[in-house]
Structure 1
Amino acid sequence: MLYDFAKGPIVSDDPYDVCILGAGAAGITLAVRLGRAGKRVALCEGGGLDYEDESQEIYAGSTFGDPYFDLDIARLRYFGGSTNHWGGYCRSFEATDFNRGHMGDDFRWPITYDELLAYRPEACEIVEIDPDYQDHVVDEQLGLRQVDFKYSPPVVFSEKFHDEIENSKNIDLFLNANFVDLVGAYRRVRSVKLRNYADQELEIRSDAVVFAMGGIDNSRQLLWMERKHGAALFDRDLPIGRYWMEHPHFTIGEALIKSWDQANLYFALTEKMQRTLGILGCGVVVEEQGDSTTKRLVKDLLCVAPGVGAWAADLAGKKLICSYKFHAAWEQAPNRDNRVALSERDADRFGVPLSELHWNKAPIDRETMLASTQQFNAYILRENLGRLQLRDWVYQGDEYPDDDVLAGYHHMGGTRMSHTPRYGVVDGNCKVFGSENLYMAGSSLYTTSGYNNPTLAIVQFALRLADHLGAGV
């Protein structure tokens, strides 16, 4: 059933098994899975069915540190969330990502890789991709492997699941229903307070409550609950908002290389090589360019290295060499100082402080990109495939350029999983430490970030949480 709170007051008397706050990939996946299992679900979305400025402005905020996007353009706040404009790139965590305990307690997941992997087939079915990923090592000595990305159409969750949710006897979707407070005591939430844009209130009772408001607002709203309620609902002094992560994205160079069969290729280092170099995961994306760029690079190469340039010119004339642009997207190490905080000056229209994002890249983040690039370049040279021309800032150690892609719009961490409240906000079942029935969903759960796009893993974690809640409520 669908209820639009913008159309006037709503009375909700019957309690629900689960109340989910946020209707993006995590919230919708969780609601549909629970609804199909016969659970009564309230799915609450602060926006409507379409984009509206009054909803989107709730996502305003400030950024501090390295250059980053304006927070109100880095995500979408209406039914379907950011799946309304995602690119469809799909690749989940790798076994390596759950095997970094040697790097410190900050890197330790409270669950195993296999526990998440079990949900990949179903998650792939939801985003409509083949679950069979075909990676292979191309150079054992250099630790270089070619990795397989899948491409969702992309599936827009609001379109895929709208009719099922609207016609469901078990799911009630509340639109334009903005979260403003939790009601409860003794570490247990009893109900959720919501408000529309006319300042009318709705209270929903539920046995369990799930924050699925995204990789920034999960932290913002939980920080606000801590400020309002202290230790009444969950443990105090949790690292809420901390260890926030992104995937830095930058163009690292261009190359003339003997033609590959594919227009776009993806490479990364093996776990063994990452350990040897003391770095994290990095994906090198190889993107084919046009003939005009090939001619320009051949001309440049003739000027600086005539012998190699002549070789390249000969191959170019035979259409045996092409120009490629190289992009890097890589894993950022969890850093306690990278965090979402509450503004002390600005609040949204419901009185909740706006977000402050404090984000900087650390030396290990740069070393991850540089070492991965060097290994890839060594492979190109050893196989005599061509020549890679790195951007000056890469090899000269200059500042990151501020006119490049910058990052992936991938908001991770902030309410991360951990074995202990010292390093995380939720346990291995996504439940907030010290709470009896408050949970988190989405990429804010991630203990580490991997180097891959977060959406597929978001769906996997939501399916896993659905199984846990379905068994316990």
Structure 2
Amino acid sequence: MLFDFAKGPLTPEQQYDVCILGAGAAGITLAIRLGRAGKRVALCEGGGLDYEDDSQEIYAGQTIGDPYFDLDIARLRYFGGSTNHWGGYCRSFEPTDFNRGYLGDDFRWPISHDDILPYLAEACEIVEISSDYRDRLVDEELGLRQVDFKYSPPVRFGEKFQAEIESSKNIDLFLNCNFTDLTGADRRVRSVKLRNYADQDLEIRANSVVFAMGGIDNSRQLLWMERLHGGSFFDRDLPIGRYWMEHPHFIIGEALIKSWDQANLYFALTEKMQKALGIMGCGVVVEEQGDSTTKRLIKDLLCVAPGVGAWAADLAGKKLICSYRFQAAWEQAPNRENRVALSDRAVDRFGVPQSELHWRKASIDRETMLASTQQFNAFILRENLGRLQLRDWVYQGDEYPDDDILAGYHHMGGTRMSYSPRYGVVDGNCKVFGAENLYVAGSSLYTTAGYNNPTLAIVQFALRLADHLVKVV
């Protein structure tokens, strides 16, 4: 059933099994799974069914550090969340992503890849892709492989599941309900307090509560609860907001390559090579460009290397060579200093401090991109496939350009999983350390980021959390 708080006061009298705060990919997946299992669910969304400025402005904030997007345009705040504008690129974590302990305790997950693998097929069905991923080893010595990405239509979660949620006897969807506080004691949440844009209040009682408000606001709201209530609901001094991660995205160069069968290809290094080089995961996207770019690159090559340029010009005349753009998208190492904090200068309309995002790329982040690129370039040269021209900033070690792609709009970490409250906020079951019934869903719980787009794994983790909650509530 659907309740729109924008239309006037609401007074729900029943006790819910689970109250979920946030109706994006994580929240909707979790609600659907729990509802189908017979659990009574309150799904609370701060926005409505469509975009509204009143809701979106709650995401305003400030970034300190490297150039980044304005926080109120980097995500969407209405039913369906950021799936209302995601691109549909789908790939989940790989086994190696859960085996980074060799880089330090900050990199250690409390679970393994096998713990989320059983949910891959169902997650793929939800986003409407095949679960048959087919990677291919290209060169074992150089540790190079071609990886398979799938493409969702893309599925808009709000559109896909609205009818089922509205007709469900077990799920109540509350729109225009903005989280303001928790009530309870002795580490147990009793109810959730919500407010609409007319400053009317609503209280929902639930046996368990899940924060599914996104990769920035999960941290912001937990920090706010800590400031208001100290250790009433969870352990004090958890690293809330810390280890925040993104996927840096930059165009790293162009190349003249003997024509491939596919227009766009995606390459990465094997687990063995990543460990040997001491780096994280990096994907190199190879995108075919037009004839005008091919001609320009050949002209440049003739000026600096006439022999190679003549070779390329001959192949181009026979339509045997093309120009390609190389874009890198890579995994950022978890860094405790990259964090979501509460602003001491600005609050939203409900009195909650705005987000202050501290984000910088570290030396290992650059090395991950550079070492991966060098391995790929070595393969091109050894096989005499063509020539790769890297951007000056890449090989000269200059500052990252601020007019490039910058990042993937992928907000990860901040309420990360860990085996210890020293390094994380939630345990292997997504429960906040020290809490009795407070959980987190979404990419904010990622311990490491992989180089994969986060949505498919968000769905896997939500399905896994639902199975856990079915057993305990």
The two structures have a TM-score, normalised by structure 2, of: 1.00
Residues 409-443 of structure 1 deviation map (CA, whole Å, 9 limit, x = unaligned): 00000000000000000000000000000000000
Is structure 2 residue 360 aligned with structure 1 residue 360? Answer: yes
Is structure 2 residue 204 aligned with structure 1 residue 204? Answer: yes
- Report the equivalent of 2:440: 440
For residues 449 and 359 of structure 2, the distance between their equivalents in structure 1, rounded to whole angstroms, comes to 15
Residues 106-155 of structure 1 deviation map (CA, whole Å, 9 limit, x = unaligned): 01000111111111000000000000100111000000000000000000
SS of match in other structure, 1:133: coil
SS of match in other structure, 1:119: helix
SS of match in other structure, 1:293: helix
Residues 202-221 of structure 1 deviation map (CA, whole Å, 9 limit, x = unaligned): 00000000000000000000
Residues 338-369 of structure 1 deviation map (CA, whole Å, 9 limit, x = unaligned): 00000011000000000000000000000000
- Report the equivalent of 1:54: 54
For residues 304 and 394 of structure 2, the distance between their equivalents in structure 1, rounded to whole angstroms, comes to 19
Residue 102 of structure 1, CA deviation? 1.1
SS of match in other structure, 1:174: strand
- Report the equivalent of 2:33: 33
For residues 163 and 385 of structure 1, the distance between their equivalents in structure 2, rounded to whole angstroms, comes to 52
Is structure 2 residue 339 aligned with structure 1 residue 339? Answer: yes
- Report the equivalent of 1:89: 89
Residue 6 of structure 1, CA deviation? 0.1
- Report the equivalent of 1:187: 187
SS of match in other structure, 1:68: coil
For residues 139 and 350 of structure 2, the distance between their equivalents in structure 1, rounded to whole angstroms, comes to 56
For residues 374 and 209 of structure 2, the distance between their equivalents in structure 1, rounded to whole angstroms, comes to 47
For residues 188 and 65 of structure 2, the distance between their equivalents in structure 1, rounded to whole angstroms, comes to 37
**Residue type of the partner of 2:247?**
H
For residues 259 and 5 of structure 1, the distance between their equivalents in structure 2, rounded to whole angstroms, comes to 57
Is structure 2 residue 131 aligned with structure 1 residue 138? Answer: no
For residues 448 and 373 of structure 2, the distance between their equivalents in structure 1, rounded to whole angstroms, comes to 21
For residues 457 and 11 of structure 1, the distance between their equivalents in structure 2, rounded to whole angstroms, comes to 36
**Residue type of the partner of 1:97?**
D
For residues 442 and 369 of structure 2, the distance between their equivalents in structure 1, rounded to whole angstroms, comes to 26
SS of match in other structure, 2:388: strand
For residues 351 and 70 of structure 1, the distance between their equivalents in structure 2, rounded to whole angstroms, comes to 20
Residue 457 of structure 1, CA deviation? 0.3
Residues 302-336 of structure 1 deviation map (CA, whole Å, 9 limit, x = unaligned): 11111111110011011110000000000000000
**Residue type of the partner of 1:365?**
D
SS of match in other structure, 2:431: coil
For residues 391 and 103 of structure 2, the distance between their equivalents in structure 1, rounded to whole angstroms, comes to 30
Gaps (5+ residues) in structure 1?
none
- Report the equivalent of 2:399: 399
- Report the equivalent of 1:160: 160
- Report the equivalent of 1:296: 296
For residues 357 and 469 of structure 2, the distance between their equivalents in structure 1, rounded to whole angstroms, comes to 31
Paired residues, number: 473
For residues 9 and 283 of structure 2, the distance between their equivalents in structure 1, rounded to whole angstroms, comes to 50
The two structures have a TM-score, normalised by structure 1, of: 1.00
**Residue type of the partner of 1:467?**
D
For residues 232 and 402 of structure 1, the distance between their equivalents in structure 2, rounded to whole angstroms, comes to 43
RMSD: 0.4
SS of match in other structure, 2:411: coil
SS of match in other structure, 2:155: coil
For residues 434 and 171 of structure 1, the distance between their equivalents in structure 2, rounded to whole angstroms, comes to 28
Residue 383 of structure 1, CA deviation? 0.5
Is structure 2 residue 451 aligned with structure 1 residue 429? Answer: no
For residues 251 and 232 of structure 2, the distance between their equivalents in structure 1, rounded to whole angstroms, comes to 48
For residues 102 and 364 of structure 1, the distance between their equivalents in structure 2, rounded to whole angstroms, comes to 14
For residues 440 and 16 of structure 2, the distance between their equivalents in structure 1, rounded to whole angstroms, comes to 17
For residues 260 and 158 of structure 1, the distance between their equivalents in structure 2, rounded to whole angstroms, comes to 39
For residues 262 and 442 of structure 1, the distance between their equivalents in structure 2, rounded to whole angstroms, comes to 34
Residue 197 of structure 1, CA deviation? 0.2
- Report the equivalent of 1:329: 329
**Residue type of the partner of 1:44?**
C
For residues 14 and 277 of structure 2, the distance between their equivalents in structure 1, rounded to whole angstroms, comes to 57
- Report the equivalent of 1:283: 283
SS of match in other structure, 1:11: coil
- Report the equivalent of 1:388: 388
- Report the equivalent of 1:413: 413
- Report the equivalent of 1:124: 124
Residues 40-80 of structure 1 deviation map (CA, whole Å, 9 limit, x = unaligned): 00000000000000100000000000000000000000000
Give 4+ residue runs of structure 1 displaced > 2 Å after superposition. Answer: none
Residues 378-408 of structure 1 deviation map (CA, whole Å, 9 limit, x = unaligned): 0000000000000000000000000000000
- Report the equivalent of 2:105: 105
For residues 101 and 207 of structure 2, the distance between their equivalents in structure 1, rounded to whole angstroms, comes to 35
For residues 91 and 344 of structure 1, the distance between their equivalents in structure 2, rounded to whole angstroms, comes to 38
Aligned runs of 1:265-284 on 2, under 5 Å? 265-284=265-284
SS of match in other structure, 1:117: helix
Residue 256 of structure 1, CA deviation? 0.3
For residues 140 and 399 of structure 1, the distance between their equivalents in structure 2, rounded to whole angstroms, comes to 32
**Residue type of the partner of 2:366?**
R
For residues 396 and 102 of structure 1, the distance between their equivalents in structure 2, rounded to whole angstroms, comes to 29
SS of match in other structure, 2:334: coil
For residues 232 and 332 of structure 1, the distance between their equivalents in structure 2, rounded to whole angstroms, comes to 33
**Residue type of the partner of 1:245?**
M
For residues 465 and 103 of structure 1, the distance between their equivalents in structure 2, rounded to whole angstroms, comes to 28
Gaps (5+ residues) in structure 2?
none
For residues 419 and 297 of structure 1, the distance between their equivalents in structure 2, rounded to whole angstroms, comes to 51
- Report the equivalent of 1:76: 76
